Amino acid sequence: MAKIFRSGYREYARQLKAKTPTHMTTLDMVTRSMRVALSREEEKLESSNTFLATVGSTAPYIGLFGTVWGIMNSFMALSDSTANTLSAVAPGIAEALIATAIGLFAAIPAVIAYNRYSDDVERLVTRYDNFVDEFTTLLQRHAAERH
């Protein structure tokens, strides 16, 4: 929030030094400056979400690939075996289940973290947005009192 404030305050000081003709022009410039700073902050906050979304969406497929691989190995072991016993297919099935579990083990926490972090970012951006509105309202009041 400090960067957003600093951006707005600096623009306000610049406009006062430049003796901008109307206070509405000053307010517009301050608001734009703060909105740009807000966008930059939002972009920084959301940059981590890409990794979490990628892990959350691809890990189940990696687990599924391992499952298919393990089942395939089981069928190959079954076809190579002269005796159709559980010991012929058990290693491949175990491999398949381990791959599935690892995929889920990676995906579930990533999706939970993504949802939690996205919610936190959304709340924070709303607070920033409200701050921009409050700050420009204070400047507008201040300008009205001066004129």
Q: Is the pLDDT of residue 10 over 80?
A: yes
Q: Is the pLDDT of residue 18 over 70?
A: yes
pTM summary value:
0.71
Q: How far apart are CA 24 and CA 43, in angstroms?
A: 28
Task: Tell me how many domains the chain contains.
Answer: 1
Q: Comparing 76 with 46, which gets the higher pLDDT?
A: 46
Q: Mind listing the pLDDT tens digit for each residue in 23-52?
A: 678 888 999 999 999 999 999 989 888 888
Q: What's the pLDDT at 41?
A: 93
Long-range contacts of 112-119 (CB under 8 A, 24+ apart): 113/52, 114/49, 114/52, 114/53, 114/56, 117/48, 117/49, 117/52, 118/49
The boundaries of the domain holding residue 57 are 2-146
- Band of residue 88 on the pLDDT scale cut at 50, 70, 90: confident
